[in-house]
Amino acid sequence: MTPEDLVSHVREATGLVERDELTPQGQAAVWVAPERWLEAATHLRTCGRCGFDFFTFLTAVDRGGDRGAEAPPPRGKPGRAQAPSPSVDQGEGLEVVCHVYAVRRQHHLNLKTLVPREGGSLATLSGVWRGANWHERETAEMFGIGFAGHPNLAKLELPVNFEGFPLRKDFLLITREAKEWPGQKEPEERHEEAKS
């Protein structure tokens, strides 16, 4: 199916699609409400026309905003990469992306949803695709998103006593907290900063 057909099929068959995206590069994404996450994923897995049998990845994207009072503001210069840009704003929070592929039908789909930064949680997909197990563990430790019903949501890559959610935008690397980021993006940058 072409990405357009695929999106309209998922829209009609599930009735769960809130919004869809088609990129100029021909990639498709459908947005569902977080409480319908499992239902939508189950359809993608079981529906014969979708046929999504290959689990590619699951991750999250910090959209910034809603930082919460207790989190310290980034210590880097304002306007650097750490500061959220308001330009792509379809809601703030953590965007969860699940990418699946259908081997025989050869089409891809990104299933997306938005969860709040504090206490955001989704139903686990590890019962739908077994591969989701580790990807959810990684997403949980990196972004602080819960996955209800997950068999073992222990830390995967981080040490067990690690605190914080490193891939969130308000998490600064230790070296950066101590000192201005050493790797400036442009050679001129530091020079200009030194002058000002």
Q: Which residues bind another protein (CB under 8 A)?
A: 23-25, 27, 29, 53-57, 59, 61-62, 81-82, 85, 87-88, 97, 99, 103, 106, 108, 110, 129-131, 133-134, 142, 155-159, 166-167, 171, 173, 176, 181, 183, 185-186
User: Roughly how many angstroms between the first and final C-alpha of the chain, as a whole number?
Assistant: 56
| Separation between Cα atoms, residue 115 and residue 92, nearest integer Å | 9
How far lies 65's CA from each of 17, 80, 117, 130, 165, in Å? 25, 15, 9, 33, 15
Q: Which of 130, 117, 134, 13 is nearest to 64 (CA)?
A: 117
Residue among 2 and 23 whose Cβ is closer to another protein? 23
**Cβ(17)–Cβ(30) below 8 Å:** yes
How far lies 149's CA from each of 52, 61, 153, 167, 196, in Å? 22, 22, 9, 23, 53
Residue among 15 and 91 whose Cβ is closer to another protein? 91
Instruction: Please report how close the Cβ of residue 100 comes to another protein at its closest, in angstroms.
Output: 9
Residue among 32 and 172 whose Cβ is closer to another protein? 172
Residue among 10 and 63 whose Cβ is closer to another protein? 63
Instruction: Please report how close the Cβ of residue 15 comes to another protein at its closest, in angstroms.
Output: 25
Residue among 119 and 159 whose Cβ is closer to another protein? 159
Sign of the dihedral through C-alpha 16, 95, 69, 146: positive
Instruction: Please report how close the Cβ of residue 39 comes to another protein at its closest, in angstroms.
Output: 19
